[in-house]
A and B are shown apart, each in its own frame.
Chain A
Amino acid sequence: MKLTLAYDHKLDTGIFGLAAEQKLDRVFAACADGAIYEMDIASGRAKAFDTRHDSYASGCVLLPDGKTVISGGYDGALIWHDIESGHSLRTVKAHRFWSWQLALSPDGTRVASVSGQYLPGSWKYEPAEAAEPCVKVFDTRTGELVASRNHLPPVLSCAFSPDGKQIAAANMMGEVRVWELDGSEAPVSKWISPAFTSWGTVKTHHYCGGIYALGFSPDGASLLGCGMGPMTDPMAGNGKMTWQRWDWRKGEKIDEIKEGQHGSGLMESLVWHPDGKHFVMAGKQAQGTWNAALFNSGDGNLVASIDTKKRITHSRFSASGNWLILAGANGQPQRKNDAWPAWGKLQVYQLEA
């Protein structure tokens, strides 16, 4: 399998979230300046929607009718944007703290947002319990809160199951919880994987890391999660690039990234290939030879990889699975002559067997 670069665009500001149409003419980028940009893939031209978040925009989802984008931000708000006019339709203050990530249900009627601030809960700086539920699900048509669930903050990632019945959310401590959306408040499954969290013994006594992206397999049986392996010195940022796949009903690990197939660095993005047999994990490379790689989900082996030499925050496949979008950011460059150089990145790769 080979990945070849087809489009390579810059954006003034870093991209933290992404939504894409099925046919990939354009994407919607949630950016560090709080705005959502509609970007034309071929030309790279970008136009922002009217309404910005008061802080980083962290994610966005495109509703199935192709007319509305819902964005989440570190201001804790969800904003509904009308694509045609660029105006906002609605703003909901979902959380007191950040919306770390959004997920859209497969039928497009529900949007989930996860939140939670890391605060000291103990001598050892385990996270304190949240004051409000960290997982919230809203009706995409009305903006109403339809469900909320508790999880230990900060909750970094969430995903809907392919049949839309379950929602999974994972936090900084590597704990995954899965709930029935129309069920009780208690999770139907939960487990902790220590492979994603650091508690520094070199410089510091606090936690960091966690599971930064989740994705149910298309057959709904397993759940993938990614992040960065534990480091004794979290400031080194050199934990192992890590993904794990779990049988979510049992809460057991089925597979994980193989030795010799990874470098080190934070992996922030996971996306399943439409064929259901492969997935991409992407992020930032601290050491190694790639920052985005395609894996065979059956045997867990790495099939193809590329090094875009940037930080990738989000990835998306086209419906056919022949195109892969990688969005992200460089390290923000220094200000030069009162101007801030562009640091956002959008690339599209063609995937060939």
Chain B
Amino acid sequence: MIAAGTIRAAFCADPGELWSSKIRPLVDVNCVKCHGPLEQKSGLELDTPEAAFKGGDDGKVIVPGKPEESLLFQYLDPKSDPHMPPKKQLGSVEIASVREWILSLGSESRESNAKTNVAGQFATITEAVDGFMAEGWSKRGVSASAPLDDRGWCRRIYLDLAGRIPAASELENFLQTGTERKREELVDSLIASDEYAVRMRELWDVFLMGRVKRENQEERRIKSGWWSFLEYSFRENRPWNETVREMLVARPAKEELKGAYWFLFERRDEHQLIAEAVSPVVYGTRINCAQCHDHPLAREIKQAHYWGLVAAFNRSKNVKDEGVAESAVGGYVNFTNLKKESQPALVTLLNGKTLPETWPAGDQKEEDTDDKYMDPKAKVRVPKLSRREAFADAATQDNPLLARAFVNRMWSVFMGRGLVHPADEMNARNVPSHPELLDWLARDFAKSGYDIKRLVRGLVLSRVYGLSRGDAVPESFAAAIERPLSAEQLARSWRVASGAPKEDEKLRRAVVMSIPEVLPKEYNATFQQAQFLENSPVLAELLKPGAGNTAERLSRLQNNSEIIREAFLSVLGRLPDTEEVSAAKDFLKEQTNKSAAGGELLWALMINGEFLTMP
């Protein structure tokens, strides 16, 4: 039937909400081209509320609370002269929205003073998250869904921190534990495990490098030490800013860090690709659009930033099997905007600061001499003045966006949606759903020395993390947002459910090829995925009875009810309800091959929607 859309509140007097839901989309299409980052006719910009309030050459265009006195509203009238947009007429619904927004600004003084009633002082991350969330729910007039029971929560936390479902014994153990702090204890033990490090590596390998598209790409990520570098960093809980610095400088000093260079190396001297990959990590936003022109909608992202970021890396060059060298000279490029004006690309940070450099004048060639290098004989030469090191320093110390980006990303991993959504577009386009919480978490993360385990622990012990699923508006986080399992989570969980022996690269690789997305913006099950689930031989292997696995155990049971009960517990971690028992019994009766019947039952349970979804 029809997909249930988000249920919008019928009455909405919050100007911020009105701006993002109604006015900004309207303004983006009809106004921003002439009144925005690229052009400011009559000195007026309309791409943000602040800019709109400022007005233009002819004064203010908005009188808060009084649409009929506001030029912005007046000019929309069909009979108005001047008329905006010049060659179009907005519909009555759109004009009504503008009116509604200007009206709502009248009461903004009341709203803006109530910025946050919640005290800014929280002792722990969990307290802060719970406090800001509760305030948000109260402001929206929604109530949070019920908390997950222990069974559901245990399955969820294992999947999030260990990348797999708990084994039946682990679940039982947790359920039986009587201590008050049992959740904290489980979280602590999972975070301390190797599985946590692998799980974090799986996530961040995809976030930083993208999913592998070819077989040998994975081999090279392993062989170069990239995976080990990430796992080591997460296991030892190295500060995030140090890990990022390591990747950007790409001159790892320790054996355990040697794979750090792969972040640059895999990109094969394509300096633009490097810049495009660095930006979401260091600034929280992609800036690919800004290659050819200033970002048309996110005004703070300019061409100079894009090319400035490229410049930080364009003296770098891969040395096969060794690392990424850097030249002491060169990399002086210009970039041209759409008006064909040419500017030099100085190494530029997003806050506009440029790194000081003396460029060679005119057609003078800069001499590349040995004395410009630390060790001129080294295979991978390091210049005394290294652009990428200077950039890496600036980007990982005293750059508040670094913490912000990481915090938002980890929030999106655990909660199903970033505080800024999409998680890699933290720019003026996308307003945070809980701005004070984001600010708090980012400041706290930076102050803690970019302590990842502390952040993770704080987030997953919060009330909002432990909520059950529901139909609340996603950005309210009043109910858990549906999250699909990643390929690695699936592969491992299938092994646990089917009782298969531990390591199985073949299965994992096959699932990764077939289901490559990690936390996609839209969940799209392709028929090719269905094909994989239906026909994959590696998956089918798990279902054949043998070596004491679940299928074998099932084949030894006599009673259909017992078989069904065992299967549900092993796979879904719960007992079946009466409907399910009935359907499963019908199924078992129809099976012609009795010894395979248990395996087929497992298949249906392992493939079904419930298994593929986070509890």
Contact = CB atoms under 8 A, between A and B. Distances in A.
Interface in B304-355: 327, 330, 332-335, 340, 342
B332 A289 contact: yes
Contact of B333 (A2, A288, A309, A331): A288
Given A304-B363, A305-B363, A331-B340, A260 B332 contact: no
A287 B333 contact: yes
A26 B312 CA distance: 47
Chain A CB count within 10 A is highest, among B334, B340, B342, B363, for: B363
A289 B336 CA distance: 11
Interface in A315-340: 331
A260 B328 CA distance: 12
A69 B311 CA distance: 48
Contacts of A260: 327, 330
B335 A309 contact: no
A97 B168 CA distance: 74
A263 B333 contact: yes
A309 B363 CA distance: 16
Contacts of A263: 333
A287 B343 CA distance: 11
Nearest to A1: B363
Nearest to B342: A309
Interface residues on A, range: 10 to 19
A246 B342 CA distance: 35
A289 B330 contact: no
Contacts of B330: 260
B334 A288 contact: yes
Nearest to A238: B272
B340 A289 contact: no
Nearest to A286: B336
A309 B341 CA distance: 9
A35 B303 CA distance: 39
Interface in B403-459: none
B340 A309 contact: yes
A307 B327 CA distance: 24
B335 A287 contact: yes
Interface string A207-229: 00000000000000000000000
B259 to A, nearest CB: 25
B342 to A, nearest CB: 7
Contacts of A287: 333-335
A307 B363 CA distance: 11
A238 to B, nearest CB: 8
Nearest to A236: B291
Contacts of A331: 340
8 contacts: A260-B327, A287-B333, A288-B334, A289-B332, A289-B333, A304-B363, A307-B342, A331-B340
Interface of B: 327, 330, 332-335, 340, 342, 363
Given A307-B334, A309-B342, 13 more contacts: A260-B330, A263-B333, A287-B333, A287-B334, A288-B333, A288-B334, A289-B332, A289-B333, A289-B334, A304-B363, A305-B363, A309-B340, A331-B340
10 nearest A-B pairs in the assembled complex, by CB-CB distance: A260-B330, A287-B333, A289-B334, A288-B333, A304-B363, A287-B335, A305-B363, A289-B332, A309-B342, A309-B340
